[in-house]
Structure 1
Amino acid sequence: MAQEFYPADATILRHAASALQAGRPVWLGTVLATYGSSPRPPGSLWAWSPTLGMAGSLSGGCVEEDLLQRLQQGQFGNSPARLSFGVSHEEQQRYRLPCGGVLDILLEPLTSADLTHLLQMCWLLEERLPFVREHTGEHYRLTEPQPGEALLSLHKQGFRRVFQPQWQLLLVGAGEVARQLAQLAQPAGFEVTLCDHREAFLQGFDVPGVHIARCQPDQLIARQFQDKQCAIVTLAHDPRLDDLALLEAFNTTAYYLGAMGSLRTSASRRQRLQELGISAAQLQRLHAPVGLDIGSKTPYEIALSILVHLLQQRPQTHS
């Protein structure tokens, strides 16, 4: 089965903003609730414009197909509409929702008056600032999230949808494992950056969608990889590069720190880091050898073991 890639929130919001900037209408759909099994969780976004098409997903395709037909026929007016799919057995068969699932969706027509609101949301995500879009009837506002708040919560007047920065993955050290991991991690929702100042290693590293940083890793981490939506993995096999990155990484709140190497290499690394001032408590954060122990040998297998561990350890804050 082909892996499905669901765009990050920022991608969907930028898609909607682009339509409004071009003077075109756009509709924004949000999954409010699911009952039974559903392909997409509450909070999932979808945007559609007659000229730019759609971005995101609400169900995996079947519900979107129905919405497109109804939108093109002009069935929805200028007010938000709350829709349910899969309520009857006939609808479950029609939309092919699994296991008797039911889907509640809010569909919002957006106009040029909403452009500033959308651009502000895009800016907050680009600045890696979490926020809440609180919807009350036909009005909405942006507020700060509460500690531990769920991705989406319903209330009598509407709902609150938490937006978090996109997951970031920093790979330190170019090589075949980095290449394979960069390719695997993007469909899993990570924005991937590769850091290496060694031009000989960077030559030919051309994975689409990956940001290349030709600098020392500690400087990049201090600037860009500080929050809990980040993972930092060192793959250079060079202590001068790997250790430099890890020393700075321990100062961050990144949810995952990993270093590639054998058991012996990892033990030596821990000893070096302690001699450089990293405490035993801090070292508990380090996954070394990195990844799950699946007996991996090839670069692809090693990359796969790392990605699965990244997903296993990733906090469940949003879809």
Structure 2
Amino acid sequence: MDSVDLEVLKSGVRWLDAGHRALLVTVVKTWGSSPRPEGAMLVVRDDGLVVGSVSGGCIEDDLIERVRREGVTQPAPEAVKYGITAEEAHRFGLPCGGTIQLVLEPLGALSRLRALLDTVERGELVARTLDMATGAATLGPANATDGVHFDGARLLTIHGPRYRMLVIGAGQLSRYLCQIAAGLDYQVTVCDPREEYTDTWDVPGTTLVHTMPDDTVLDLKLDERCAVIALTHDPKLDDLALMEALKTPAFYVGALGSRRNNAARRERLKEFDLSEAELARLHGPVGIYIGSRTPPEIAVSILAEVTAAKNGVSLPTILQVEGAKAAREEAAGAGSTCDV
């Protein structure tokens, strides 16, 4: 779950502990364009204080006004829709044709919000099932690929770390990349067995391990919600991670380096019995072409490509480093082998 929704849970627990009534609002379905995805949440306190977001702001205003006017008095959760008509879409700031369905849940002892928050803060993935008739919630195991499900009688939502990122190397570029990745709500693990790099690692929100990269990939049991980025420039480390990561369902596997180094890397990886299909999954040189030169710029470039892959966006060749540089060289009539 993203950090905004985590703050929603924390605020809800804090307000209940202080004796307030509160309404938890969850996006359960969208039609057309929508500012926030299914599963997004906000919580409204009985005095109108709000944390979180389910739209661009106008729906929040309507919910706040409702709570201030009526309080949180409903006995059980209810489902409501916004933006059904063009007039409502305009009023509530939804894109043309957009419709959003919300579940409004009065929080209480049956909500099990404290247990949910404790589980999430332990880094565990958990499914919460809400009974619409009683307001009682149950918690259970979840898979990273599970999503929101609402059938009118029950609401199933998934909470916890949805995406993980393994970064090979604890150098300067990794620092910038991991800071941004943590802000994008990845659960970040940094692997580097070299003490000269790891002794000074102090990036908040990341886990540092000193194991060998291939062992780390196997230990993490990577799934479809995982990304692996090799940044050491050392084939002894990067190749170990890549040869195992390319065999996993990870949605993104990439390595830093020039086009020449990337071609050499692919030849080396063939010696590890990787298939052509597995090798074709390797992103390299990593990133999109934005003319990046500094470590922060390179980090932005890499994470832009990771984000596109995460969201199922296929980037045109001209945006990829290799394609963009080749096109530039062709246009200039001169070659260059320097890639960032």
**Scaled by the length of structure 1, what TM-score is found?**
0.76
Paired residue secondary structure (2:3):
coil
Determine if contact 2:190/2:206 at 8 Å carries over to the other structure.
yes
1:305 aligns with 2:305: no
1:191 aligns with 2:187: yes
1:208 aligns with 2:204: yes
Q: 1:247 to 1:54 in 2, by over 3 A?
A: farther
Equivalent in the alignment of 1:234: 230
Q: Which runs of 5+ in 2 are unaligned?
A: 313-340
Equivalent in the alignment of 2:246: 250
Q: Distance in 1 between matches of 2:39 and 2:266?
A: 41
5 Å matches for 1:98-109? 98-99=95-96, 101-109=98-106
Determine if contact 2:169/2:230 at 8 Å carries over to the other structure.
yes
5 Å matches for 1:124-139? 129=125, 131=127, 133=129, 135-138=131-134
Determine if contact 1:130/1:165 at 8 Å carries over to the other structure.
no
Match of 2:174 among 168, 171, 178: 178
CA deviation digits over 1:253-278, x for unaligned, max 9? Answer: 22111111112211222222222333
Q: 1:132 to 1:313 in 2, by over 3 A?
A: farther
Q: 1:219 to 1:153 in 2, by over 3 A?
A: same
Q: 1:82 to 1:222 in 2, by over 3 A?
A: same
Paired residue secondary structure (2:253):
strand
The Cα of 1:226 is off from its aligned counterpart by 1.6
Determine if contact 1:8/1:189 at 8 Å carries over to the other structure.
no
The amino acid that maps onto 1:280 is E
Equivalent in the alignment of 2:109: 112
Q: 1:227 to 1:54 in 2, by over 3 A?
A: farther
Paired residue secondary structure (2:36):
coil
Equivalent in the alignment of 2:271: 275
Match of 2:26 among 15, 19, 30: 30
Match of 1:41 among 37, 40, 60: 37
Equivalent in the alignment of 2:322: none
The Cα of 1:231 is off from its aligned counterpart by 0.4
The Cα of 1:6 is off from its aligned counterpart by 5.0
Paired residue secondary structure (1:184):
helix
Determine if contact 2:120/2:160 at 8 Å carries over to the other structure.
no
The Cα of 1:91 is off from its aligned counterpart by 6.1
Determine if contact 1:168/1:190 at 8 Å carries over to the other structure.
yes
Determine if contact 2:288/2:304 at 8 Å carries over to the other structure.
yes
The amino acid that maps onto 2:216 is L
Q: 1:232 to 1:128 in 2, by over 3 A?
A: farther
CA deviation digits over 1:5-36, x for unaligned, max 9? Answer: 95265564455456556776543211134455
Determine if contact 1:134/1:159 at 8 Å carries over to the other structure.
yes
The amino acid that maps onto 1:44 is A
The Cα of 1:227 is off from its aligned counterpart by 1.6
Q: Distance in 1 between matches of 2:249 and 2:32?
A: 36
Paired residue secondary structure (2:262):
helix
1:217 aligns with 2:213: yes
Q: Which runs of 5+ in 1 are unaligned?
A: none
Q: 1:147 to 1:175 in 2, by over 3 A?
A: closer
Q: What's the Cα RMSD here?
A: 3.8
The Cα of 1:206 is off from its aligned counterpart by 3.6
Structure label with greater radius of gyration: 2
Determine if contact 1:14/1:122 at 8 Å carries over to the other structure.
no
Paired residue secondary structure (1:186):
helix
The amino acid that maps onto 1:256 is Y
Aligned sequence identity (%) = 36
The Cα of 1:310 is off from its aligned counterpart by 0.9
Q: 1:17 to 1:216 in 2, by over 3 A?
A: farther
| Higher RCO (C-alpha under 8 Å, 6+ residues apart) | 1
Task: Count residues with an aligned counterpart.
Answer: 309
CA deviation digits over 1:257-300, x for unaligned, max 9? Answer: 11111122112222222223333332222112222344433323
Q: 1:146 to 1:123 in 2, by over 3 A?
A: closer
CA deviation digits over 1:122-146, x for unaligned, max 9? Answer: 6489575574736443355567889
Paired residue secondary structure (1:192):
strand
Q: 1:290 to 1:88 in 2, by over 3 A?
A: closer
